[in-house]
């Protein structure tokens, strides 16, 4: 059986498909970056530190540090819980009669 399409035509179509896929991939990267910037601009208010005294700047730093600690604790708790769930599932599977 002979192919109805020549090898050069196959190669041309393949290269066109790869070029189109690369275009779409590049556009997806640009879109994701724009979405990230939009999301961050909505969620994060810019810091205005000009005109603040030393004590006000220190208070702002303390406040930001407290917020970072809270987020880190929550992240750690989530990671610990997901790890515990994974270990619990493995333990339950090992205990089950089908797992032996």
How far apart are the C-alpha atoms of 85 and 100, rounded to whole Å?
A: 21
pTM metric for this prediction:
0.47
CA–CA separation, 26 and 32 (whole Å): 10
**How do residues 41-85 score in pLDDT, each as one tens digit?**
888 888 888 888 999 999 999 999 999 999 999 988 888 888 766
pLDDT at 46: 81
**pLDDT range class, residue 100, cuts 50, 70, 90:** very low
- Listed in sequence order, the residues at least 6 apart from 47 whose beta carbon sits closer than 8 Å to its beta carbon are 60
pLDDT value at position 26?
98
Contact indicator for 50, 60 with CB cutoff of 8 Å: no
Evaluate if residue 99 carries a pLDDT over 80: no
């Amino acid at each position: 059986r002979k192919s109805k399409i020549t090898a050069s035509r196959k190669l041309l179509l393949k290269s066109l498909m790869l070029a189109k896929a690369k275009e779409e991939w590049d556009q997806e990267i640009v879109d994701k970056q724009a979405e990230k910037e939009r999301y961050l601009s909505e969620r994060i208010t810019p810091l205005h530190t000009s005109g603040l005294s030393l004590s006000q700047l220190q208070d702002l730093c303390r406040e930001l540090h407290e917020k970072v600690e809270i987020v880190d604790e929550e992240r750690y708790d989530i990671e610990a819980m997901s790890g515990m769930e994974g270990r619990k599932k493995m333990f339950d599977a090992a205990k089950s009669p089908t797992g032996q």
